[in-house]
Amino acid sequence: MREYIIKRLLMLIPVLFIVSLVVFSIIHLTPGDPAAVMLGETATQAEIDALRQRLGLDQPLFGQYLNWLGGLFRFDLGYSYFMRQPVAEAIRDRIVPTTSLALLAEFFAIVTAIPLGVAAAVRRGTVTDTALMGTSLLGMSIPSFLLGLFLVLIFAVWLRWLPVAGYAPLQAGLWPHLRYLILPALALGLIQMALIARMTRSSMLEVLNTNYINAARARGLREWLVVYRHALRNAFIPILTIIGHSFGVLVAGAAVVETIFNIPGLGQLIVNSVGRRDYTVIQGGVLFITLIYLLINLGTDLLYGLIDPRVRLGRR
Amino acid sequence: MKRREFLQLSTALLASGALGAMRPAFAQTTPGMGGTIRVAMQAQPGSLDPHMTTADATAQVARNVFEQLLALNSGYQYAPMLAESFDQSDDGLTFTFHLRQGVKFHNGKTMTADDVIASLEKWITTNSKKTMFEVHTLAAPDDHTVVLTMAKKVYGVLEALADNGQFAGIMPKEIVEAADATGVTEYIGTGPFKFAEWSRDQFVRLVRNDDYQPLAGPPDGLVGDKTAHADELIYYFVADPSTRIAGIMTGEYDVADSLPIDYYEQVRGNADLDILKRSLNLVAIYNKKEGLLANVAMRKAVNAALDSEAIMLAVQSFPEFFRLDPSYMYEEQANWHSTAGANQYSQNDPELAKKYLAEAGYANEPVRILTSKDHAHLFNSSVVIQQQLAAAGMNARLDVYDWPTTLEHRGKSSDWDITVTGFPLVLAPTQLLYLSANWAGWTDDPTIAKHIAEINASTSLDEAKAIWQALQGYCWEDYLPVSKLGDRIAYAAYSRRLLGLASLEGGVFWSAGFAG
């Protein structure tokens, strides 16, 4: 097992290297000049060129890439002139809001999706099933920003139960921190819920038809035990895959929801940086998200082993 | 004062202020001390160093923290701020500023001439008006006097020092010396608010400067008594306009800046909200260096086809939110406003356009309009212009990119023919960027250069004004460096709980506060 983990961690390196090359090339070959954006509309070309030189943007591209790569080996992601901060610090400041939001959204999603998916599977073909899957289809189709705006309209503007937008760090207290995250987490979570519920339903349906489940029922076990302890556990691998993937999506950037609710998260950081052509932040941010994605995948694979004893990782 | 009377009075004030949108408006009740003013801004400033950029967001926030030697009063004229008086030599080359004594920076240091000189030198290096100051000297005969000597006579030195955009804020010498390529690293000024905190992409928090030394006299634009009332002034960066408006309706913000026209009905219908107006011009720039429009007959063709009313209506939707005005300088600038050349404005004459096209030998080549969807007013006006040019027989094409790409293309004379943009207020017409050869459009005309040189050499405002009238006339009738489209009136919504709010190129927050 330990060998397996080490091997997986080592495999991160070539992936990250390729991603670094790709993101660097794309962003530098895209038109748009950070110096021009920094100085504003009324700058003359001479001023822009002077700033480009000061920022090292007039160096040959491959040289700039090597500089940046060299920095990566020293865990130095570079410096952002727009934000006047090292990139690593900027990302670090934004991990907590994004992680909190992702965790809360995933929590809402799982806590609603699994019971709903199980209920739909158990009552397959009935009105309940159709209704639940219809709702899930709606959830998957609705864009997150639309859902977010509806939630703001209902819960913040009409009912005044929750704030419109903003963010309070954890230091301000757990409840203030969560209070600002509830609506955006719902906007994100309800959509993820739809996906997880569908997967739960299909996976459960497969398992509910198996011999061992019939045998359990024949033995006289209570239905809820059959469903939740035996069937769900066996059905859980594909569900876990979806959950892992959805968590990765949430961390990678609920940029639109973060913008609407004004949460200083990673998604908003990267989108804003693209708009400003803040090269170092875009590169560092994308690389960081890649790393998170890969780690989540690794975590999911390890969890398979926990849930299903038949899965033995790293053994032949 | 009862609420209804207050509403009636402020409606009357608004109605009377509709044309003079930039004249500051005062509410009638006086605010008490204390409280936190929360402003929802659309864009985060790239820098809080006012020397570095003309970005409006920077000036809005930074003018609470930094002050200048001279600043604008409510009539858009320069008036003393950190300089208690100033003289100009008879030959117009030497300006002597007598500084106020005992003014303290936020870090406790007392302001002296050395700080002023260091700040001005830094400002001169980076600001867009610097060609004016190309050859100059700054000297301090004593701790409270600064002497600026110009090599040649240039109009508008005092205006440049007093200007609100990319302004000459005074900072301590040590802070200036520690600045890097992108500006100062600490924000220490003399203003009514002190910088407290900048949480990137979230907010900038300013706190009241309790040691502020005000000028005598009532608050007057950006001069006068600027003592702050609120304990804190927080600018939140809220990119989404629906969030800004939801926030102001639920009381989470006190001011919502830059609201799109679409939301005006909502704001108008809400009795708790009022609006501040601000004029911004909209100008179509022509590429005179290279391409189709380097030929003046083509520019006349394009200009003849334009219907400014249709364009402005498309951009602003309500007639009360735009002005049709051919003047290059704003209506509020009584010194410079001119209707010279007005007969060339908004001609809406496709037949005349076709005549000019024939004169130019136009052979259906593409006329490239460069724009970006990132700014709705630029995009919408460009779409209408394309339609109008097409109706006049031109093969007009929209090249739409995101903002940074648009900026990049705009710097290249090979890439576009027409682009629409808005400009910040300038205090003297010699500072109009689109009359300069160094800026996009590349206006390089000997007659224009001669007129500008004459304004610089002029000895009185009347003389300069007459030359400017002639120059604007020449621009419209003969050269057409640009086509002025009109003035947009942008609005910000604010809660009526906020008293004493004034506006001059944006909200003026030191005089504002809540009921005591």
pLDDT tens digits for range B450-488: 999 999 888 788 999 999 999 999 999 999 999 999 999
In 3-state terms, what secondary structure has residue A5?
Answer: helix
Q: CA B246, CA A94: separation in Å to the nearest integer?
A: 24
Contact B196, B61 (CB under 8 A): no
Look at residue A303 in the predicted model and tell me its pLDDT. Answer: 86
Q: How far is CA A114 from CA A102, A141, A246, B79, in A?
A: 18, 19, 14, 69
* Six token digits for residue B144: 């409270």
Q: Is A171 on the interface with B (CB under 8 A)?
A: no
* Six token digits for residue B225: 């008594």
A39/B53 touch (CB, cutoff 8 Å), yes or no: yes
Cα Rg of chain B (Å, integer): 23
Higher pLDDT, B498 or A315: B498
Smallest CA-to-CA distance from B371 within B382, B363, B361, B362 is with B382
Look at residue B180 in the predicted model and tell me its pLDDT. Answer: 83
* Six token digits for residue B20: 């003079």
pLDDT tens digits for range B289-316: 999 999 999 999 999 999 999 999 999 9
Q: Kindly identify which residue of chain A lies nearest to residue B439, measuring between CA atoms.
A: A44
Q: What is the pTM of this model?
A: 0.80
Look at residue B17 in the predicted model and tell me its pLDDT. Answer: 39
Q: CA B516, CA B508: separation in Å to the nearest integer?
A: 19
Report whether pLDDT(B225) > 90.
yes
* Six token digits for residue A162: 């929750």
Q: Which residue has the tokens 């429009």?
A: B293
pLDDT tens digits for range A63-84: 889 989 898 888 888 888 788 7
Contact B133, B150 (CB under 8 A): yes
Smallest CA-to-CA distance from B132 within B118, B153, B116 is with B153
* Six token digits for residue B57: 């967001």
Per CB-CB distance under 8 Å, the chain B contacts of A268 are: 201
What b/e readout covers B77-86, taking b as 16+ CB neighbours within 10 angstroms?
bbbbbbbeeb
Least confident piece of the model among A265-279, B185-199, B277-291: A265-279
Q: CA B335, CA B31: separation in Å to the nearest integer?
A: 34
Contact A113, A133 (CB under 8 A): no
Look at residue A313 in the predicted model and tell me its pLDDT. Answer: 62
Q: CA B293, CA B286: separation in Å to the nearest integer?
A: 7
Q: Which residues pair with B471 in a beta bridge?
A: none
Look at residue B474 in the predicted model and tell me its pLDDT. Answer: 96
Q: Is B54 on the interface with A (CB under 8 A)?
A: yes
Per CB-CB distance under 8 Å, the chain B contacts of A276 are: 46, 404
Q: Amino acid identity of B174?
A: E
Q: Kindly identify which residue of chain B lies nearest to residue A269, measuring between CA atoms.
A: B201
* Residue B319 CB partners (closer than 8 Å, separation 6+): B313
Higher pLDDT, A48 or B187: B187
State the number of CA atoms in the 13 A half-sphere of B239 facing the CB: 21
B405/A264 touch (CB, cutoff 8 Å), yes or no: no
Q: Is B201 exposed, middle or buried (0-12, 13-18, 19+ CB in 10 A)?
A: buried
Report whether pLDDT(A272) > 90.
no
User: Could you say which of A41, A47, A260 has the minimum Cβ distance to residue B240?
Assistant: A260
pLDDT tens digits for range A163-175: 988 888 888 889 9
| Highest-confidence segment of A307-311, B400-404, B468-472 | B468-472
* Six token digits for residue A96: 């907590």
Q: Is B272 on the interface with A (CB under 8 A)?
A: no
State the average pLDDT for chain B. 89
Q: Is B145 exposed, middle or buried (0-12, 13-18, 19+ CB in 10 A)?
A: middle
Smallest CA-to-CA distance from B186 within B61, B48, B52 is with B48
Q: CA B333, CA A189: separation in Å to the nearest integer?
A: 54
B407/A41 touch (CB, cutoff 8 Å), yes or no: yes
What's the rounded mean pLDDT across residues A196-200? 92
Q: What's B482's DSSP letter?
A: E
pLDDT tens digits for range A79-128: 887 887 899 999 998 898 999 999 999 999 999 999 999 988 888 889 98
Q: How confident is the model at residue A225 (pLDDT cuts 50, 70, 90)?
A: confident
Look at residue B1 in the predicted model and tell me its pLDDT. Answer: 45
Q: Amino acid identity of B214?
A: P
Alpha-carbon dihedral B103, B108, B110, B111, rounded to 10 degrees: -70
